[in-house]
């Protein structure tokens, strides 16, 4: 069975961009669904009823929300081309900057 991946995002979202970049780094095929954030689709509201925002990654019908959570899911699900370094110090540094970007962007 082929895996189905859909990324709900917007052309201007830095959070959606980092998920898109991770999917491409892993060499995964996915469909991008561009969302109009001033007129949110029923799918967006169904897949993320709590926050009602993008990005959302839908993998075989199961939604994942919040970009850092999605990145962890991608890295744990598809082992090729790890997104984080193996060295614990370097990994912690990468996580620091990802969190910084989440809070400051």
Percent of the chain with pLDDT over 70: 98
**Tally of domains within the chain:** 1
What residues make up the domain containing 50?
5-104
Q: What is the CATH number of the domain that holds 54?
A: 3.40.30.10
pTM attached to this predicted model? 0.91
pLDDT of residue 17: 97
Mean pLDDT over each residue of the chain, to the nearest integer: 95
C-alpha triplet 67, 57, 55: angle, nearest 5°: 45
Percent of the chain with pLDDT over 90: 90
pLDDT of residue 83: 95
Under the banding of pLDDT at 50, 70 and 90, the label for residue 1 is: low
Residue 3 contacts residue 60 (beta carbons within 8 Å): yes
> If you average pLDDT over residues 32-53, what whole number do you get?
95
């Amino acid at each position: 069975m082929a895996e189905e991946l859909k990324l709900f995002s917007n052309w201007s979202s830095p959070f959606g961009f980092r998920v898109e970049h991770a999917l491409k780094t892993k060499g995964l095929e996915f469909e991008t669904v561009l969302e109009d954030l001033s007129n949110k689709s029923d799918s967006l509201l169904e897949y993320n009823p709590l926050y009602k925002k993008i990005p959302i990654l839908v993998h075989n019908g199961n939604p994942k929300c919040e970009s850092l959570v999605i990145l962890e899911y991608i890295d744990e699900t598809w082992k090729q081309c790890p997104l984080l370094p193996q060295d614990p110090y370097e990994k912690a540094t990468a996580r620091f900057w990802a969190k910084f970007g989440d809070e400051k962007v």
